[in-house]
Structure 1
Amino acid sequence: MYRITFSKQADKTLRKMPRNLALKIAEKIKELANHPEKMSNIKKLTNHPGYRMRVGDWRVVYLVNDSEKNIHIIKIKTRGGVYK
């Protein structure tokens, strides 16, 4: 199981969104921590060392450190805002 850490920006976004949506995203992040290699809707980002996970219309951008078993959530944004 991987440990999850959040950037200030990602944490703030998660706290401000509607509760039902935040719970859905949190559930997907927990699944990611348990089985990072088996998740669907994940793509390696081009020109960036991280990955993105799709949760409905939202995107979760994160970095994986396999040696430390850590997943660092960088951004949680809508599709239109995440790549800017």
Structure 2
Amino acid sequence: MVWRIELSETAGRRLSKLPKADAKRITGFLRDRLASRDDPRSIGTPLKGNRYADLWRYRVGDYRLIAQVRDATLTILIVDLGHRSRIYRR
């Protein structure tokens, strides 16, 4: 099963501002490890709290990807991404 990866406007903008090596590592993770999974939740961690009930976290080095998994359309929407020291402060 192949999942389609979409980036929110915010996530796309933040990805474009990252150092090239880090951006390449993240896009490789999305393409090679996440999109090809039968269940993308198997390598993610659910976020806690009512506000974040449908969001998942993925670790890629020092960066965190916040995503929403949409089973009906086989889509993973990357809502936000950033360095692990700052991503949860937004």
Q: TM-score, normalised to structure 2's length?
A: 0.85
- The 3 A distance-change label for structure 1 pair 36 and 83 is farther
* TM-align CA RMSD: 1.4
Q: How many Å apart are 1:36 and its aligned residue?
A: 5.5
User: For this pair of structures, how many residues does the alignment match?
Assistant: 83
Cα 1:44–1:67 change in 2 (3 A) is: same
**Is there any run of 5+ residues in structure 2 with no aligned partner, and where?**
none
CA gap of 1:36–1:21, structure 2 versus 1, over 3 A, is farther
* Equivalent residue number for residue 20 of structure 1: 21
Deviation at 1:37, TM superposition (A): 2.5
In percent, how many aligned pairs have the same letter?
A: 29
Residue 63 (structure 1) aligns with: 68
Cα 1:81–1:16, aligned 2, differ >3 Å: closer, same or farther? Answer: same
TM (norm. structure 1) is: 0.90
Shift in CA distance, 53/80, structure 1 to aligned 2, threshold 3 Å: same
| Structure 1 counterpart of 2:3 | 2
What residue identity is the alignment partner of 2:66? V
Distance 1:36 1:53, change over 3 A: farther
Whole-angstrom distance in 2 between the partners of 1:44 and 1:36: 17
Runs ≥4 in structure 1, deviation > 4 angstroms?
Answer: none
